[in-house]
């Protein structure tokens, strides 16, 4: 309701906020909704819908800005938190590579491939090229499951083993997938 106040000035936004929650099921459902669906709600404006759609990327950037570019990831929890932050609000599968130096400092984080809602391709060559380009000694590969099922598929396990073998031959430690 408060957010709508700034997108729809001089109007009682409580009924609109309640209708948005009712229509999309929750606050997160509203943030995930398509902008064209949001503007169909009585009283909504395109500006207010745009403001709503900006919330996820703005929040992601806020959290990411708290990480220092020289951040050292000291544990699996640190790595997990960092990667989860990168995937906040992402609705398509992405395959990413986190490159670290020998002290565990972040060298780079890159989305290497962007996929569909339920799959993403992996290019072994692209992974190896980026590892060499950044002179990484340790890496974490990651991809999200926007559908909510974070159980590794048979293909995920196969790709992880393949990349671990290739990276090992380059003296690069694959910390996790």
Q: Determine the Cα–Cα distance for residues 32 and 117; give it in Å rounded to an integer.
A: 13
Q: What is the pLDDT of residue 69?
A: 58
Q: What is the DSSP letter of 153?
A: P
Q: What is the pLDDT of residue 62?
A: 80
Q: In what order do the strands lie in the sheet with 106-114?
A: 106-114, 94-100, 138-143, 173-176
Phi, psi at 55, each rounded to 5°? -60, -45
Q: Determine the Cα–Cα distance for residues 48 and 120; give it in Å rounded to an integer.
A: 32
Each residue's pLDDT tens digit, 9-32: 888 999 999 999 999 999 989 998
The 3-class SS string of 72-133 reads ECCCHHHHHHHHHHHHCCCCCCEEEEEEECCCCEEEEEEEEEECCCCCCCCCHHHHHHHHHH
Q: Determine the Cα–Cα distance for residues 4 and 169; give it in Å rounded to an integer.
A: 55
Each residue's pLDDT tens digit, 75-94: 889 898 888 888 887 888 89
- More confident position, 122 or 168: 168
Give the SS3 label for residue 64: helix
Give the SS3 label for residue 152: coil
Each residue's pLDDT tens digit, 129-153: 999 999 999 999 998 888 777 778 8
């Amino acid at each position: 309701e408060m957010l709508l106040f700034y997108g729809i000035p001089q109007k009682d936004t409580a009924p609109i906020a309640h209708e948005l929650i009712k229509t999309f099921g929750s606050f997160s459902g509203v943030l995930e909704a398509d902008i064209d669906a949001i503007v169909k709600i009585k009283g909504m404006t395109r500006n207010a819908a745009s403001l709503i759609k900006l919330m996820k990327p703005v929040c992601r950037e806020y959290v990411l800005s708290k990480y220092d570019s020289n951040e050292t990831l000291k544990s699996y929890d640190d790595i997990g938190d960092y990667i989860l932050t990168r995937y906040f609000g992402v609705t398509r599968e992405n395959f990413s590579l986190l490159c670290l130096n020998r002290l565990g400092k972040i060298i780079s984080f890159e989305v290497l491939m962007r996929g569909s809602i339920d799959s993403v391709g992996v290019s072994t060559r692209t992974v190896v090229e980026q590892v060499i380009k950044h002179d990484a000694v340790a890496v974490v590969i990651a991809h999200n499951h926007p559908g909510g099922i974070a159980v590794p598929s048979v293909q995920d396990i196969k790709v992880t083993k393949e990349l671990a073998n290739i990276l090992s031959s380059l003296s690069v430690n694959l910390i996790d997938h």
